[in-house]
Amino acid sequence: MALTLAEAAKLSNDMLMQGVVETIVKDSPVLQRMPFIEIVGNGLTYNQEKTLPDIDFYDVGDTWTESTPTFEQLTANLKIMGGDADVDNFLKSTRSNIQDLEAAVIELKAKSLRDKFEEIFIYGNAAVNAKQFDGLKKLVDTGTAGAQVIAMADTGDTLSLDKLDELIDAVKGGKPDMLVMSRRSRRKINNLVRAAGGMTETDRDQWGNFVQLWDSVLIGVNDWILDTHVLTDGVETATTGGDCSTIYAVQFGEGALCGLTSPGHLQVEPVGALENKDASRTRVKWYVSLALFSSIKAAALIGVQD
């Protein structure tokens, strides 16, 4: 069964871990909603659905033509991400009357882990850095023309609401759960809607924060999506040196885009007192990866200019 990070934390009695998870997910639209599958072992080999089999009509006595679906076998390996948080015992004992120094340091470490996940969620590429998992850019493959990659133009163009609708329609089997974009792209959507005399839909998340929607699809901001991509002949050829951005439409779930993690999900591990200095250490770690079980459950709109 796939659970979101926040739901998995509720099953733990570790109050420190629950606090770390809340810190991580409350400012991350993706981690609030993307479920994670617990896997045993260091990776998951799965068949990604590519095309469906053909269906036809036949007369009595006709010879039936056989056809089968096509799949691509992929492997998503768990990767190790995390970091150590050291708190000096002198500072802890002399300044804890102002605030809980240890809790503050661990909170900042958790925020850093969230930022790193959101960056790799977009740009992770195991072929470039084997320590990373593949992110959306690699899973959708924006460097290759295809049905799930929609270009504004050969070298990019200003965003239009028609293209945004085309992106949503590229996700099959139901609407996407989220449009993941940069802040510049979100501002452009607001500008286009206001120019048309309307307003974007709004709702509140579980923390009471306002969230925006387009065509009932949640708009999720990712601060790591660059607005400097380069397009050549309708495909992305570089992430820096240009003026284009990318908007992703994704559907979450066990048959769509899903996170992978080890049993126990994110872990907060007290290492204890250190030998070489007067400090105590806490380790925040996560064995995590990403899997796209069906290629039609995610799409990218590339070449989005201001």
pLDDT (tens, 9 = 90+) of the chain, 306 residues, equals 566 656 655 555 555 556 666 766 777 889 889 999 998 888 889 888 777 789 999 999 999 998 888 888 888 999 999 999 888 888 877 776 555 777 788 888 888 888 999 999 999 999 999 999 999 999 999 988 888 999 999 999 999 999 999 999 999 989 999 999 999 999 999 999 999 887 778 887 776 778 899 989 999 999 999 999 999 999 999 999 999 999 999 999 988 999 999 887 788 888 888 888 899 888 889 999 999 999 999 999 999 998
Q: Do 49 and 71 meet the contact criterion of CB atoms below 8 Å apart?
A: yes
What's the CA gap between 150 and 301, in Å, rounded? Answer: 5
**How many residues are there in the chain?**
306
CA angle 229, 110, 6 (to 5 degrees): 95
CA angle 168, 172, 79 (to 5 degrees): 90
Q: Do 5 and 21 meet the contact criterion of CB atoms below 8 Å apart?
A: yes
Convert the pLDDT of each residue in 31-88 to its tens digit.
889 999 998 888 889 888 777 789 999 999 999 998 888 888 888 999 999 999 888 8
Helix (H, G, I), strand (E, B) or coil at 15: helix
Query: What residue spans of 77-135 are helical by DSSP H?
Result: 89-95, 101-123
What's the CA gap between 149 and 295, in Å, rounded? Answer: 11
Q: Give Cα separations from 291 to 11, 132, 258 (angstroms).
A: 24, 13, 5
Structure tokens at 70: 């096509």
Mean pLDDT over the full length of the chain:
87
